[in-house]
Amino acid sequence: MTSLGPIAFTAPWLLLGLIALPILWIWLRAVPPAPVRRRFPGVALLLGLTDRETQSDRTPWWLLLLRLLAVAAIIIGFAGPVLNPQDPRDGSGPLLVVLDGTWADARDWAQRMERTRLALDDAARTGRPAAVITLTDPPDAMPDFQPAQSVAQTLPNLQPAPWSPDPTAMATLADTLSGAFDTLWLSDGLARDGRDTMLSAFEDHGILRVVQTPRSTVALRPAVFDSGNIALSAARTPIGLPLSVPVQAIGLDPAGTERVLASIDIDFAAGDGVGETLLSLPPELRNRVTRFALAGVRSAGAVTLTDDALRRREVALIAGGGAAEGLDLLSPLYYLREALEPTADLIDGTLEDVLLANPDVIVLADVANLSGAESDGLIAWVENGGLLLRFAGPRLAASDVGRTTEDPLLPVRLRAGGRSVGGAMSWGEPKSLAAFPDDSPFRGLSVPGDVTVTAQVVAQPDPTLADRVIAGLADGTPLVTRKALGQGQVVLMHVTANAEWSSLPLSGLFVQMLERLAVSTRPASPDLDDLAGTVWLPQARLNAFGALIDATAQAGVPGETLAGAVPGPNLPPGVYAFEDARVAVNVADADTTLATAQWPARIPVEGLDIARERPLKGWLLAAALVLLAVDVIASLAVGGRLRGPRADVAAALLAVLLIPALPQGASAQAPDDSFAIDATQAVSLAYVQTGDPQIDEVSEAGLRGLSDVLFHRTSIEPSAPMAIDLESDELAFFPFIYWPLTANQPLPSRDAYAKLNRYLRSGGMILFDTRDADTARFGSSSPEGRQLQAIATSLDIPALEPIPDDHVLTRTFYLIQDFPGRTASRDVWVEAAPPDAEQSEGMPFRNLNDGVTPVVIGGNDWARAWAVDQYGDPMFPVGRGSAGETQREYAYRFGVNLIMHVLTGNYKSDQVHVPNLLERLGQ
Amino acid sequence: MTDPTALRTRAERTASALPPLLATAEHLASTVILGDHGRRRAGTGDTFWQYRPAQSHDTARSIDWRRSARSDSAFVQDREWQIAQSVVFWVDQGASMRFSSDSGVPDKATVARTLALACAILLNRGGERIGLTGSALPPRRGTAQITQMAALLSQDDPADYALPEARGMVPHSRAVFVSDFLSDLAPIESALTRAADQGVHGALVQILDPQEEAFPFDGRTVFESMTGGLRHETLKAGDLRNRYLDRLAERKDRLSGLGRTTGWQFTTQHTDAPATQALLWLYSALEQSA
C-alpha cells in the first residue's frame, strides 16, 4: 500500500494510466462527433447552403473534460484508493485499556468509547485478550483478560464518574497489577497526583501507549456571595490566549419550570489560569438559582451547585409607631438591622407593601394593633410558611392585644403591663438567661453571663405555655415563645429589639439566635463541630455529564464525611440536606486549579481522533458511471440526436433532478389579499353562501338588482355583490350582509360565530330572511324559522321588536311604512327601542336607536323581489299586475332605506332636530 | 431479364396495394355528397334548362316556336350543359414521395394517390372522363377506368424526383398535378406552359411532410435523398433551418405565381392533415376552372 497524504492506493501502478489522459484528449479532440444520416427529400432545397459556423467539427472541450474525468475516475478507482489507511498495530499479548473516567472525560465520552472500541477491535483481529478499567472505579484485583469481542460488549456499562481518581486507590491498583500486558491509557488530559505511580506501574508490565488530545478544559468553582453580588470563578487549562466562557445561572422560574435565569461571561486574561466575574442579580432571582453551568459543556466540572451560602433570606422590618425622632441607637430596628444586614436582604415599607413582596421573615418590632386587612393578610402569609418574629415593647405592653383570648399572631396570651425587674423602683436584680432547653432551636448556644433583662412582657399561664417556650429567664419566665401557625410560625421575643429592656441585642447571642431562628442566613460552610453526628440526606446528585439527578432515595452521608468535602465514591457531588440546611458538594472547590498532564518523551501520545479506513473505489467508479451517463445525454445533445422521445426522457430526468429545488407554496397568501382588495375597493353588498346553489344565485341576483337601484337613485354606488363564506372570509369589509336561511344550512363553527359577533358589535348589519312569510309568517313554525333560532342562539343579538312606526328605517330615504319583499308580511323585527325613549316635543316620532340595528329579521323573501337577470329584467314575478309592480317598487324602497340606514346610521333621525337647532341659534 | 419470382412478388405487392388504395379513395370520395350532377348552366345537353329571349347570334333553328308563339318576342330553349369534361391527373411517383417522417403519418405518395384517385372517383360519378397524363391511360369513363387508374397509380418510379408528364392532354380539358414539387422547377414550368398553351387549366397540389415544413434538425447531419443520389452534409443543421424555410416559401410563391399566370390553382397539403379538405378544395377548384 502506497500512502499519499490521507489516501493510499492498493495498486498504485495503475495510476500510470493517467499519463494516457493527454493522449486521449488529443485523440478525442481530433475526432468530431459522428454525423446523423437522414433521409430527407427536401435535400434538393439544401444544396448549395454552406455552414456559417464550423464549431462542431471538434468535440466541445467540456464534453472532452467530462469524458476525461470519467476515464480518470475509472483509472484511479481501480488503483484502489483508501482514505485514512490504518497501519497494522504491533504488539501481542493481553491488552489493558485504561480510562481515567473522570468528569473531564464526560465531554467527549462517546469518542473515548469509540476509541476504546477500535482498540478492542484491533485486539480481536489479532486475537489478543483484553480488559478495560477506569481509574475512578478501579477494580480490587488484577482484571481478568477476556476475548476482546466480549469485552467490547461490556463497553456500554462504562460510565465516567463525577470525581477524580483517588491517589491511594491508584497506588493500590498499581500494586495489584501482575503479569505481562500492553497498556493503552486514554487520559483525560489533566495533571493529578498518582499519575506517575500508574505510569511506572504500567510500563513495568509492557508497552504503554497514551491517548490524549490537546484541548481546553474549564472547571467552574463554587459561587460565593460577595457584597451583594455573586462571585463566579473558573479554572482552565491549558493557560494561553484570552478566553471567554459563558456561564448560565439555572433555576426554577415562578411557574416551577427550570430555565436559564441569567447569563454572564467569565473572561480569562491571556496567561491567567483563573477567570473571575461578578454577577449581580435581584434577590428574588438570586434565591431561585440552583446551579451555575458553563453553557454547552457536558461535564460535572462545568457545573457548580449552590446551597445556603448563596441563599439570602428576605427580611421585612416593621417598627411600631410613626417616624419618631430619636437617636439611631434607640430605634427599635437598629440592632436588628445591624445583625441582619450582612446575611439577609432587608425590606422596608408598610405592611401591605411588604406582604406583596412575600418575604421569608417579617419582623414586627413593638407593633401592637393591626388593622383587620393587615391581620388577615399576615395570617394568610404565615400559614403559607412565613416566619413572623415579634418583639415586645411599650406599645405591646400597653395594648390589649392577646389579653383575654389568644391572638392568632401571638404565641401566648400576655398579662397586662408586663413587668420590670432590677430597675430603680423594683425589687430584685436584672434577670439573666437560663440555659436553653434541649428541644429548643437555640440548643447548644452558650449563654453569656452579661446578658440581662430588665423589663419584659409576661405570658399568661396557659396549658400550652410550656410547649411554646423556647427560651426563658433564670427565674423561669418565658423570654422567647413560639407557636406554629399553618406551615409557618409566630415567634415572640418578650423584650424589645433595642437595648431598652435588655442587653440581649448588644450581645453576640442575639445574632446566633436570629440565625437559629432562620431569620438570618447560615454562614458559608458548616464547620466540623456542627456536622459531627449529623446525617445529611442527598437531595440531588450530579453525574459526570453535569446533569442533576434526584437522589432522595439514596442513603445519607455522615456529617464527618461532608466536612472533608472531597467528592469521591463515598461522597458524590450533589446537594445534601440536614433539617432545613442545605450544603452543596461540587466537583471543583474554591482553590481548584487545572493543569495539563505531561508525559515523558518515551511514551507515544496519540490523538483521540481516529478515522476508519474507507475504500474509495466504489465511490470513484460510481462517479465515473454518473459522468458517463451525463456524457450520453450531452453527446446526444451535441450531435443533434436529442429529439423526440429521447428529449422527453432527458427532460424528465432533468425535471426529476431539478423539481425538488423549486420553491413551493409561494402563492399561498395571494387569494386572501385579492378578496380583501375586491371587497374594499368600493362599497359592496354581501350575502352568505348557504350551500344551495339556487338560493345563492338568487341572493346574488337580488343584491345586484338592489345595487343597481341604489346606483341609479342614490349617491351610493356599490360594486358587484360578493358571496362570503362565513368560515374563511373576513366580514369586516362589508357594511351589510344578506343571509337567506335554508332548512338544512350548517351551523357556523365556533370561530365563525366569534367573527359574526365581532361583526355585529362593530356596526355591521345582517338581514336574516327566512323567505317563508307567505306560508308561515314570521316565527318558528317553518323549518327555516327553526334554523334561524338555532343559528341565532349563539349570536350576540339584542332584544328585538317589530319595526315601530317611527323607526328611522321608515324614513332614511323614502317614507315607507311597509317592508314588502316578494311577500308582504308586516313581521319585520329590529333591535328594540330603549325603554326610556320618549317622544320629543312636537315631533311625530320618538328619538330612537342611537345606533344601527345590528339585525333585521323577516321572511319577505326580499332577494327574489330585488332579483334581476343579466339584462336588468326582474327574474321573479311579484304579486299580480300593476299592484305587484308597486309591491316590487316598495321592496326596492325598503332595500334603499336599509342600506341608507346601514351607511348613515341615525343621521336621518338627527336631521329632524335641525329646525330646533336653527331656532336655538336665533335664526 | 426479369426474375419471375421477383416479378411475381412485385405484382402481388402491387395488387395487394390496389384494393386498399381504391377503398380509401372510395371512402374519401363518399364524404363529398353530390346531388344531381348537372352543370347548372346553359350549354349543350339533353335536358331543358330555361327559355331565354333570342338574341342576334342565335340561329333561326334554335328558336322555340311553341314558346315564341305565346308572346310577341322569339324565345330560345336553352338546355342544361351536360358536356362531359376530361380531367387528367399526374401524380408524382418519384422516390421522394415515399418519405414519411413518422410511422403515424402516411407517406406522401399514399396521400397523393388517395387524393387523386378519390377526385377521379368523384369526377367519374359526375360523369366526367378521367385519365392520366401521358399515353398510358387516355381519358375515359367508367369503373374499369378507375380500376385501371388505381393500378397505374400504384406503380413506383425509381427516380428520385419524377418529371411531370404534360403529354396526352386533351385541349381545353382539366388537369391535376399532385407532387411535392421539390425537384427542379424548370420541367414543371415548361409542362405548365405547355398545358396553358393548349388551354388546359387545373390545380397544383403540393404534398408535404410536416418535417419538410418544419425542418426540426440540429447537429452534424448528412441529408440524403430517398435513393441516396443527392447528399448534403452540414455541421450545424439548426443553422440551416431559416435558409431552408426561406427557400421553401420562395418555391411555394413561385408555384402559385406560375399558377396565376397560367390559370392554375395551387395549394399545399400536409400528410398529417385530413385529406378531405384537400379533396374539397380540389373539387371546387375544378368546378371553378370549368
Strand order in B231-234's β-sheet?
A: A36-39, B221-224, B231-234
Interface A–B counts its CB contacts (< 8 A) at 109
Tens-place pLDDT, residues B175-233: 889 998 888 888 888 888 888 888 888 889 999 998 888 888 877 788 888 888 888 88
Confidence (pLDDT) at B253: 92
Confidence (pLDDT) at A738: 92
Tens-place pLDDT, residues B93-142: 888 888 888 888 888 888 888 888 888 887 877 777 888 888 888 888 88
Shortest Cα–Cα distance, B141 to chain A (Å): 35
Round to whole Å and give the CA distance between A312 and A327: 29
Q: Which residues of B touch A641 (CB under 8 A)?
A: 219
A591 and B CB contact within 8 Å: no
B139 and B75 part of one domain = no
**Which burial class, exposed, middle or buried, applies to A670 when counting CB atoms under 10 A from its CB (0-12, 13-18, 19+)?**
exposed
Of B79, B111, B145, which residue sits at a domain end?
A: B79
**CATH number for B259:** 3.40.50.410
B217 and A CB contact within 8 Å: yes
B244 and A CB contact within 8 Å: yes
Round to whole Å and give the CA distance between A616 and A626: 15
Of B60, B79, B98, which residue sits at a domain end?
A: B79
- Indicate whether B35 pLDDT > 50: no
Confidence (pLDDT) at A665: 44
B187 and B128 part of one domain = yes
CA A460 to chain centre: 56
**Grid cell locating B273:** 392533415
**Residue among A223, A289, A282, A224 at smallest CA distance from A259:** A289
| Binary contact (A49, B233; C-beta < 8 A) | no
Q: Is A311 helix (H, G, I), strand (E, B) or coil?
A: coil
Round to whole Å and give the CA distance between A428 and A611: 92
CA B39 to chain centre: 20
Confidence (pLDDT) at A213: 80
**A435-467 b/e (C-beta count within 10 Å ≥ 16 → b):** ebeeebbbeebebeeebbbbbbbbbeeeeeeee
B250 and B220 part of one domain = yes
Q: What are the DSSP calls for A689-711, one per residue?
A: --S-HHHHHHHHHHHHHHHHHHH
Shortest Cα–Cα distance, B133 to chain A (Å): 24
Q: Which residues of B touch A32 (CB under 8 A)?
A: 220
- Complex ipTM: 0.71
Q: pTM for the whole thing?
A: 0.43
Amino acid present at A682: A
Shortest Cα–Cα distance, A644 to chain B (Å): 10
**Grid cell locating B248:** 421553401
- Partnered with residue A864 across adjacent β-strands are none
B240 and A CB contact within 8 Å: yes
Q: Which residues of chain A have pLDDT under 70?
A: 1-5, 30-33, 52-58, 85-91, 321-329, 422-427, 519-530, 564-565, 580, 608-613, 639-645, 657-672, 774, 776-781, 834-851, 906, 908-909, 912, 923
Most A CBs within 10 Å, among B157, B212, B213, B221, to test the A interface? B221
Residue A3 is inside which H or E element, if any? Answer: strand A2-4
| Binary contact (B220, A35; C-beta < 8 A) | yes
Confidence (pLDDT) at A892: 92
B251 and A CB contact within 8 Å: yes
Among candidates B99, B211, B220 on the partner chain, residue whose Cβ is nearest the Cβ of A640: B220
Q: Which has the higher per-residue pLDDT, A72 or B10?
A: A72
B220 and A CB contact within 8 Å: yes
CA dist list (Å): A137 to A146, A252, A476, A705: 19, 34, 58, 92
Question: If pLDDT is split at 50, 70 and 90, which confidence band does B290 have?
Answer: very low
A712 and B CB contact within 8 Å: no
Of B46, B79, B112, which residue sits at a domain end?
A: B79
| Binary contact (B218, A54; C-beta < 8 A) | no
Shortest Cα–Cα distance, A698 to chain B (Å): 48
Tens-place pLDDT, residues A215-257: 888 888 888 877 778 888 888 888 888 888 899 998 888 787 8
| Binary contact (B225, A46; C-beta < 8 A) | no
**Which residue range(s) make up the domain with B236?**
4-24+85-288
Q: Which residues of A touch B227 (CB under 8 A)?
A: none
B129 and B38 part of one domain = no
- Could you tell me if B172 and B39 are in contact, meaning their C-beta atoms sit under 8 angstroms apart? no
Round to whole Å and give the CA distance between A792 and B79: 89
B107 and B209 part of one domain = yes
Q: Which residues of B touch A47 (CB under 8 A)?
A: 230, 232
Into how many domains does chain B fold?
A: 2
Shortest Cα–Cα distance, B272 to chain A (Å): 17
**Grid cell locating B187:** 420541367
Residue of B nearest to A56 (CA): B235
Quote the crossing angle between the two packed helices B4-30 and B143-153, to the nearest 10°: 120
**Which burial class, exposed, middle or buried, applies to A400 when counting CB atoms under 10 A from its CB (0-12, 13-18, 19+)?**
exposed
pLDDT > 70: what percent of chain B?
Answer: 81
B68 and B146 part of one domain = no
Peptide bond into A238 cis (omega under 30): yes
B67 and B41 part of one domain = yes
**Residue among A767, A745, A744, A617 at smallest CA distance from A686:** A767
Confidence (pLDDT) at B1: 41
| Binary contact (B224, A41; C-beta < 8 A) | no
**Residue among A190, A229, A13 at smallest CA distance from A104:** A190
B69 and B143 part of one domain = no
| Binary contact (A44, B161; C-beta < 8 A) | yes
A residues 622-651 lying closer than 8 A (beta carbon) to B: 638-641, 643
Most B CBs within 10 Å, among A31, A36, A37, A43, to test the B interface? A43
A36 and B CB contact within 8 Å: yes
Shortest Cα–Cα distance, B251 to chain A (Å): 9
Residue of A nearest to B94 (CA): A41
HEC profile of A799-855? CEEECCCCCHHHCCCCCCCCCCCCCCCCCCEEECCCCCCCECCCCCCECCCCCCCCE
B66 and B90 part of one domain = no
B15 and B123 part of one domain = yes
Confidence (pLDDT) at A208: 85
B243 and A CB contact within 8 Å: yes
Residue of A nearest to B212 (CA): A42
Quote the crossing angle between the two packed helices B4-30 and B275-289, to the nearest 10°: 80
CA dist list (Å): A263 to A182, A220, A308, A542: 47, 14, 21, 21
| Binary contact (A46, B99; C-beta < 8 A) | no
B239 and A CB contact within 8 Å: yes
| Binary contact (B180, A41; C-beta < 8 A) | yes
B177 and B58 part of one domain = no
B170 and B42 part of one domain = no
B248 and A CB contact within 8 Å: yes
Confidence (pLDDT) at A111: 86
